[in-house]
Amino acid sequence: MELGLDGVSVDGIVHDVTLSAASGQVVGIVGPNGSGKSTTLRCVYRALRPSGGAVLLDGQDLLAMPLKESARRLAALTQDSHVEFDFTVAEVVAMGRLPHKGAFDRDTDRDHDLVARSLRQVDAEHLAGRTFLTLSGGERQRVLIARALVQEPDVLVLDEPTNHLDIRHQLDVLALVRRVGPTVLTVLHDLNLAAAYCDRVHVLDGGRVVAGGAPADVLTPDLVLAVFGVRAHLVVHPTSGAPQLLFGHPEVSP
Ligand SMILES: Nc1ncnc2c1ncn2[C@@H]1O[C@H](COP(=O)(O)OP(=O)(O)OP(=O)(O)O)[C@@H](O)[C@H]1O
């Protein structure tokens, strides 16, 4: 399913953001702190109504859809994905099935299987019986990713999915979302992860898209200096061939 942002604006914060993710693509949004990345995503997962523009799913106006219908198609891992009560991990993940169920439907065998599979996919099977609030930051993050996957979405919106994750789990989670295959729009702070895992990357600065395209074309030392104020040297990953950046502080000689 194709996701399109067409001139999305949020008064004073996000200005005319246009980008698209073709079916099955992983598209990244990078940019400095406060550049409008989360605010843009909030418009996509419907936590915020944009003041202008449209969000389109296969050309259909997402914001005009009933909430339950859009929740069946689109799942989000957000910066404010809180779990307030002391639910078990399995219960938290099972909540991801709610958009597919009627008010009085009980969990089916398929629901249980999907919960178990999603937990296995994020290496959290062993946590199923634990209460969510006792988990570490990285364990919580993986469980919330499982909750998004169990929704079987066509589109996955991820706000810094690698937050709190150790390096192994960062690589696992990004490889997983590529493998599972929904259309993915993800905010990433790590430019090298964006370069390695995204089909396309868009750079936000001051609420505007200042560059977009294939990572190798976008994540150049000139752009990194202009947008982040950091010197970068481009190297090519010796086995994957992905462009990777080595950073240095601008006040320290390279
Ligand atoms: N409800 C709000 N009221 C006022 N300002 C807001 C509101 N929401 C966001 N902002 C401001 O808009 C700007 C963009 O915020 P946003 O969270 O989208 O940035 P971001 O690119 O995701 O940043 P970060 O990398 O720090 O997570 C910030 O300056 C933020 O303080």
pLDDT of residue 248: 83
40 close to 5: Cβ distance less than 8 angstroms: yes
For residue 103, pLDDT beyond 80 = no
Judge if the beta carbon of residue 34 lies within 6 A of ligand 1: yes
Task: Locate 154 and state its tokens.
Answer: 């066509």
CA of 218 relative to ligand 1 center, distance in Å: 23
Lowest mean pLDDT among 33-42, 73-82, 156-165, 244-253: 244-253
pTM of the complete model: 0.94
Domain ranges of the chain: 3-248
Angle at 184 between CA 197 and CA 128, to 5 degrees: 95
Residue 121 has phi, psi (to 5 degrees) of: -65, -30
Residue 202 has phi, psi (to 5 degrees) of: -115, 140
Judge if the beta carbon of residue 202 lies within 6 A of ligand 1: no
Best of 38, 160, 203 to mutate for ligand 1, by most ligand atoms within 8 A of CB? 38
Judge if the beta carbon of residue 15 lies within 6 A of ligand 1: no
pLDDT digits over 168-209, tens only?
999 999 999 898 889 999 999 999 999 999 999 999 999 999
Closest atom of ligand 1 to CA, residue 36 = 18
Judge if the beta carbon of residue 145 lies within 6 A of ligand 1: no
What value does the mean pLDDT take over residues 20-34? 97
| Domain 3-248, CATH class in plain words | alpha beta
